[in-house]
Structure 1
Amino acid sequence: MSPLVRLARVIARAPRTVVVLAVLGTLGLYALATVGVTGEGLFQRVTTGPPLVTGSDSWEVYEARIRTQDPETGPRLAIYVTGVDVDDAVVAQETAEAVDEIAALPRVATVASPFGLGVGPAYVPDPDAAQVDPVAQMAALIDADRTGYLIDVTFESFGDDDPLETHLEIADLVAGHVDAMTAAHPDAVSRAFSNPLVFDDFTAQLEQDLITGEIVALPAALIVMVFVFGGFLAAATPLTGAVASIAGGLAVLYGFSYLLDLDQSAVNVVTVLGIGLSIDYGLLLVSRFREELHRAGTDPREARAEALERTLATAGRTVLFSGLIVAVSVGGMIFFSPEMMRGFGGAAIGVVTTAMIAALTIVPAVLYLLAPRIVGAGLLARVPGLRRIIRTTSNVDREHGAFSRLAGWVQRRPWLVVAATTALLLVLASPVLQLNLRSSDIEALPVGNERRDYIDAFTVGFPDLAEPAVTVHSLASPAELAPYLDAVADVEGVTAVLEPEVAGGETFVGVRLAAADSSGSEATAVVRDIRQVPTDVEVHVGGVAATQLDFTDAIREGALIAGTVVVIATFVLLFLMTGSLLVPLKTLLINSLSLLATLGVVTWIFGEGHLEATLGFTSTGGVETYVAVIIVAFGFGLAMDYEVFLLSRVKEYVDAGESNDAAVRKGLQRSGRIITSAATVIVLVFLGFALGDLLMIKEVGVGLAFAVLLDATVVRMLLVPATMTLLGDWNWWAPAPLRRLHRRLNLQH
């Protein structure tokens, strides 16, 4: 007796207990994720920041910046006021008054503006600080067009208090004073910026996008499944696993946040994967359970125990193999050196495992309890306008129908289908040749966000104060660095080497580039050249351009290891499932081509800026580097998910003695409805999350939605049956020793 059959018997003996434990567990896991052990939930533990590679030059510079920050000061807050006349005496007077009011706020150290300087209650003189000309300092805070100015606020360290919450509270007070000051000027606009405000914006936007995605995706999924199963009860059953998977997935992410630095977007990305897989697995199990009840032809109450055993022995086996293969696919990311990618990979493994466990426990228990009420079509099948549609879409009895006819059509012209579908995939993949990988920061926030608008305006208004694309760091003194900096100034593409800045005994030097795009290929090429400049002292080259270069290089280096592990593990798992060597090889080749086509479409949309108005985004001129990795990893996993659905059913018929071609036709008929239904649902899920405003979430949503759509139609319905027809009985070939091994393992249906 297989372990899955034993599991089915355990569930059948105590289904209500399983459901009650699942409800309590779901509530507990959700509470753990949102509140945490110490009151700090998942959304407070995730991080945001540049995609750093530990040990790289850019990481060394970033760490040095943090290391040399004054521990007695808190994050700075800048307010950029535009749309005013800086030469107006009234503006000067009102700003000076506002500066005095802000300086009086608790925990404020200093306030600087073009019209006066304020000293707050937290100000502590630093005798070692360099003397600054106050007149020059104030003049530097007026923008280039003299239509705006900055108010710069510094704070004391917030110590053991919640730094984020404390900063946000004081920032609100500061903004209130500025808004009161500008109220009399109808054209005046004030924008606040600080690192904590950026973090808070990303967190709030992620939470909003997650809610938006769930509000859109889950009801849309329910509607599709009503048509698939002909009733609300059967349709709602897969959602029980999805809800549990969401809670479990968030709890898994919370746990991983103690092991790795989880990027904020990981919450949305892996949660949507868990929802999609849960619904996929639920659809497969519900469909097979109803099929087994129909086949029994007796009272569902009497047949449900045996039907559940048969369901878990077949569809449950498919879910188990699919879960393992998808976990391997997404888990390949743990072999990349950037901690961000390892966090994605580890969290994704946990979420996939959660979805698989929920599908093999909660869904079967609910099915057992609802068996008498989910066999036939529900109330909607009695509605005249829907009766015929639902009876067709919810039928689980036929071995011949639209999908078997499609397979027969393909089998009569397999070479034509292979040629046409391959040509289509290659055309779709062609934009990959122009793929530009980049790592966005503030521009990932939606247009209209205050922090993004601040940076856009600041870059124009204060070009000399904008963060340089490259930063050189060294423990050497400015004098010792001088020969090296002179050589850097001569590098093609360098426009200026700024005055060295010494902090904590370490030297930092900003380098400005001619490249307009600090994350583009032109800027990263200059970084490579700067790093080749000979020097007698140790230096590290960091900044935006260097971070982009190091992250992309690390992804390329890790791709070989990750890809090798995923390919070998997937090949082995597919062999264990099918007993064939050719089927896994063919599957890997086809899925690779499909993924290239998906990346090509994502490049065309987001890299080249097509469909900006339709999808509501502004192109950055490339695709997020880690998004491309996620699309490949998750897209490969989902493609394998549908491949397992199809192959397991075809192999079931082959093992029962059917010919290869007949098995393909019957297998496609039995699995085609589930594949297309599951794909429809998961496309809606991904598109629901694509309605969010964060650029990387939108890229992931659109990219994976297209990957699933392409795979479930062109690949799974046309290309796979055509290639299986051409191979014929060779599909199931393996050397005799491996065939004997497969039989000994008893992995047959």
Structure 2
Amino acid sequence: MTFLERLGRFEARHARLVALGWLAAVVVAFGLALGVFGSASLFNRLTSGEPVVPGESRVGRDLLADQHADGPAVVITLDGVDPSSAQARSTVQDLTRTLGEIPDVSKVTSPYDVPGGLSGAAGRTLLAADGQGIAVTARLAADLPRDVSTEHTDAIEAAVDEAAGQLPGVQARTTSLPQLVDEITHQVELDLRRGEGIALPVSLLVMVLVFGGFLAAGIPLAGAIASIAGGLASLWVFSGVIDLDATVVNVVTILGLGLCIDYGLLVVSRFREELRAVPWPHGEPDREQVIAAVGRTVAVAGRTVLFSGLIVAISLSGLMLFQAQILRALGAAGVSVVVVALLVALTFVPALLSLAGPRLVRPGLLSRVPLLRGLLARFGDVAPAEGVFSRLARRVQRHPWPIALGVTALLVLLAVPAFGLHLRSSGTELMPVGSSQRDGFDRIAERYPALAGPDLTVVARAPIADVRAWATDVATVDGVQAVDPPQQEGAVVTLGVRVDGHDPGGQTAGDVVQRLRADRPDFPIWVTGQAAGQVDFSASILRTAPWSIALVVLATFVLLFLMTGSVLVPVKALVMNVISLGASLGVVTWVFERGHLEGLLSFTSTGGIETTIPPLVLAFGFGLAMDYEVFLLSRIKEQHDLGLSNDESVAIGLQRSGRIITSAALLVIIVFAGLLAAQVLVVKQTGVALMVAVAIDATLVRMLLVPATMTLLGEWNWWAPGPLRRLHDRIGIGTH
């Protein structure tokens, strides 16, 4: 008896204790994540911002930050008012005094109290371009905790609203980086609730149809809720150790939800199969038969879940090799959530199976409805010996070459747009048009351009006269529209560069960054800005990607070899996954970079894909693809170990696993579809990318390409060199 089988039997005999332990853990986990126990909630600990990596842009920003003791500025705009009116002057001066009394507001500036007043150069920068608006800036102290910063910006906003009430017709708005972060993190929390609110009920409906009853369907869903709780709790722990970006929560939690539903579906289905396979002397299984079935389920399905979880965890661990903290956070948090999903599937779900016992194999209420009886028989979780998937496999086996070449050609065609992929690190563009802070920043750029800042900033360590002379050369660089006068900032000099099109994250800005860095002056410079950060981020990804890919490929190869004893099956699986993921990136590029389906998906294209999407899709998509590969291969290998031929093993293996793979993929697609309702752009892009990855893998790859290629290879599928074959005989993990 294997360890997993003994574990399953133990859990079945102590099911109530295990279930109550999980119930207590879920309550504690939700309490920690929501801040019930007095500590800050997970969502109050989140951060947001442009992904950064060590590089020139970061060094330049740090140099510039060292010159200032103040923190971020809150920009107040009062539009629709004449600055020269006595009422406007009086109201703004009162507002300035009020803002100065707010704790941690270090400096307040209005056009009335700068040298020269309204007519001076400094005053004009604080007036609207059409002359009908006033801007006031309130500078916060540096390094304030997020909750303190939020408290102060709320106080500023309240003071502004009160002042605006004294100016009829004025449109008042406060805009700042802390408020943008608050808006994004709050929206992420809403998106998560909305996504789960969509995913859980629809998933329950699908599982009811799969299992033919609410009890069997409810067990994977209960496991999913436990997974959500565990995932949020693990993220809460991580947020106390590292800066956790707001988008990590949605992506990682939804992944855990999808995996847990996958594994729960597999385990429940296998339990019903095992329980139906034994004779029932008393008309239904007795207690010992239920315990034995749980043990056998954990031994067989649990082994599949364990392999799958290990491969998903390995694919996510590759993200921890990258320099970008957001990718490391995604990898570390993702691995922890996978561990939670594994624990749920191997402990909590078996305990619930034991408690439900024979009721799981009794006909459900839906099976008594004549209209649904045939549907459940055709698409339920119990696969007949012959059916739609075995017939599909045999059709593919009759024409393997045309199908293999045709599917491969289609996947390559879908991947073509990815060759023109342009990466962006969005700020305000993460929020939809119409959101408060995005509109605020857009209004500043349009009506108060001097406050919006340049598209690129060059930080120089040189006399200002030398920088001024070099600025004439910068003005002639292709793509540069204008150069701001150099400014002395403590020990350094800054030079603002404005590019054609005024898109700080666009291709033109990126080209200007490359040209400035390629043709440097005689003194040290650091080119910073959104496009510069994107260039550094992309270079960092390219440097680290080979090592990350090598780790994931090697570890996945070893695990699949231990599972199958084959060298060719792991290689084939890896190659097919590369083609499949390329197709997914191509579809995402076609949709979001080129702006297709903007109306349907409710987004505004930024002309690129967020920088985190490609590594995230490759890691998460690879893990999910290998998830279904393990589901299918475990069944095929099980049949081949029983002595069946390769082709027969493939047909029966697909028949036994096809319903589970299809149902699991449908459920995961539903889960990721919940992300389509997200307002944060990177979350929406992630949802589309992973939905497409799962859909392609569960249909074109698993149902067509795998049977075709395994037919072409024949018995060579199970080949390994003599030394490796003997090694597998000693340490391989068989199906029995």
For Structure 1 versus Structure 2, the TM-score category normalised by the shorter chain is over 0.9
| Aligned: 1:172 with 2:157 | yes
Q: 1:20 maps to which residue?
A: 20
Q: 1:252 maps to which residue?
A: 234
Moved more, 86-95 or 684-693: 86-95
Q: 1:57 maps to which residue?
A: 56
Does the 8 A contact of 1:158 with 1:166 survive in 2?
A: no
Q: 1:230 maps to which residue?
A: 212
Partner secondary structure for residue 747 of structure 1: coil
Q: 1:68 maps to which residue?
A: 67
Please list, as runs of the form range in 1=range in 2, the aligned pairs for 1:22-171 lying within 5 A after superposition: 22-35=22-35, 39-54=39-54, 56-70=55-69, 73=70, 75-84=72-81, 95=92, 98-99=95-96, 102=99, 111-114=108-111, 116-117=112-113, 132-135=115-118, 136=120, 137-155=122-140, 162-171=147-156
| Aligned: 1:302 with 2:288 | yes
C-alpha distance 530-686 of structure 1, shift in aligned 2 (>3 A): same
Q: 2:613 maps to which residue?
A: 627
Partner secondary structure for residue 204 of structure 2: helix
Does the 8 A contact of 2:396 with 2:403 survive in 1?
A: yes
C-alpha distance 621-159 of structure 1, shift in aligned 2 (>3 A): closer
Q: 1:681 maps to which residue?
A: 667
Of 690, 709, 728, the residue aligned with 2:714 is: 728
Q: Distance in 1 between matches of 2:710 and 2:73?
A: 63
Q: CA offsets per residue over residues 110-136 of structure 1, 9 Å max, x none? A: 54444x44xxxxxxxxxxxxx843342
Q: 1:418 maps to which residue?
A: 404
Does the 8 A contact of 1:230 with 1:391 survive in 2?
A: no
Moved more, 334-343 or 527-536: 527-536
Moved more, 382-391 or 619-628: 382-391
Letter in 1 for 2:66: R
Of 644, 653, 658, the residue aligned with 1:672 is: 658
Q: Distance in 2 between matches of 1:438 and 1:108?
A: 33
Letter in 2 for 1:53: V
Please list, as runs of the form range in 1=range in 2, the aligned pairs for 1:204-353 lying within 5 A after superposition: 204-298=186-280, 299-300=284-285, 301-353=287-339
How far 1:643 sits from its partner (Å)? Answer: 0.6
Does the 8 A contact of 1:112 with 1:138 survive in 2?
A: no
Q: 1:372 maps to which residue?
A: 358
Structure-2-length-normalised TM-score: 0.94
C-alpha distance 315-156 of structure 1, shift in aligned 2 (>3 A): closer
Does the 8 A contact of 1:192 with 1:450 survive in 2?
A: no
How far 1:435 sits from its partner (Å)? Answer: 1.2
Does the 8 A contact of 1:230 with 1:376 survive in 2?
A: no
How far 1:484 sits from its partner (Å)? Answer: 4.4
Count of residue correspondences? 729
Partner secondary structure for residue 77 of structure 2: strand
Structure-1-length-normalised TM-score: 0.93
Moved more, 31-40 or 402-411: 31-40
Q: Distance in 2 between matches of 1:211 and 1:59?
A: 35
How far 1:636 sits from its partner (Å)? Answer: 0.9
How far 1:622 sits from its partner (Å)? Answer: 0.8
Q: How high is the sequence identity, in percent, across the aligned residues?
A: 47
Letter in 2 for 1:19: A
Does the 8 A contact of 1:95 with 1:181 survive in 2?
A: no
How far 1:275 sits from its partner (Å)? Answer: 0.4
Q: Distance in 2 between matches of 1:660 and 1:37?
A: 57
Q: 1:430 maps to which residue?
A: 416
Q: Distance in 2 between matches of 1:442 and 1:355?
A: 34
| Aligned: 1:612 with 2:598 | yes
Q: Distance in 2 between matches of 1:110 and 1:340?
A: 33
C-alpha distance 107-449 of structure 1, shift in aligned 2 (>3 A): same
Q: Distance in 1 between matches of 2:166 and 2:722?
A: 85
Q: Distance in 2 between matches of 1:722 and 1:709?
A: 18
Q: Distance in 1 between matches of 2:146 and 2:257?
A: 37
C-alpha distance 217-414 of structure 1, shift in aligned 2 (>3 A): same
C-alpha distance 648-217 of structure 1, shift in aligned 2 (>3 A): same
How far 1:103 sits from its partner (Å)? Answer: 5.4
Moved more, 383-392 or 31-40: 31-40
| Aligned: 1:359 with 2:341 | no
| Aligned: 1:389 with 2:375 | yes
How far 1:676 sits from its partner (Å)? Answer: 0.6
How far 1:69 sits from its partner (Å)? Answer: 2.5
Does the 8 A contact of 2:455 with 2:504 survive in 1?
A: yes
How far 1:254 sits from its partner (Å)? Answer: 2.3
Moved more, 256-265 or 29-38: 29-38
Q: Distance in 1 between matches of 2:128 and 2:146?
A: 35
C-alpha distance 196-395 of structure 1, shift in aligned 2 (>3 A): closer
Does the 8 A contact of 2:580 with 2:696 survive in 1?
A: yes
Does the 8 A contact of 1:241 with 1:282 survive in 2?
A: yes
C-alpha distance 596-479 of structure 1, shift in aligned 2 (>3 A): same
Partner secondary structure for residue 593 of structure 1: helix
Partner secondary structure for residue 174 of structure 2: strand
Of 571, 578, 594, the residue aligned with 1:585 is: 571
Q: Structure 1: which 5+ residue stretches go unaligned?
A: 118-130
Q: Distance in 2 between matches of 1:556 and 1:161?
A: 33
Q: CA offsets per residue over residues 688-743 of structure 1, 9 Å max, x none? A: 12211110000001111111111111111111111111111111111121111111
Letter in 2 for 1:363: V
How far 1:256 sits from its partner (Å)? Answer: 2.4
How far 1:89 sits from its partner (Å)? Answer: 6.2
| Aligned: 1:540 with 2:523 | no
Partner secondary structure for residue 349 of structure 2: helix
Does the 8 A contact of 1:167 with 1:196 survive in 2?
A: no
Q: 1:120 maps to which residue?
A: none
Q: Distance in 2 between matches of 1:77 and 1:631?
A: 36
Does the 8 A contact of 2:482 with 2:499 survive in 1?
A: yes
Q: Distance in 2 between matches of 1:189 and 1:414?
A: 67
Please list, as runs of the form range in 1=range in 2, the aligned pairs for 1:193-208 lying within 5 A after superposition: 193-208=175-190
Q: CA offsets per residue over residues 600-655 of structure 1, 9 Å max, x none? A: 11011101000000000000001111012211211111000001000000000000
Letter in 2 for 1:81: L
Does the 8 A contact of 2:99 with 2:156 survive in 1?
A: no
What is the alpha-carbon root mean square deviation over aligned residues?
A: 2.2
Q: 2:2 maps to which residue?
A: 2
Q: Distance in 2 between matches of 1:291 and 1:225?
A: 16
Letter in 2 for 1:50: E
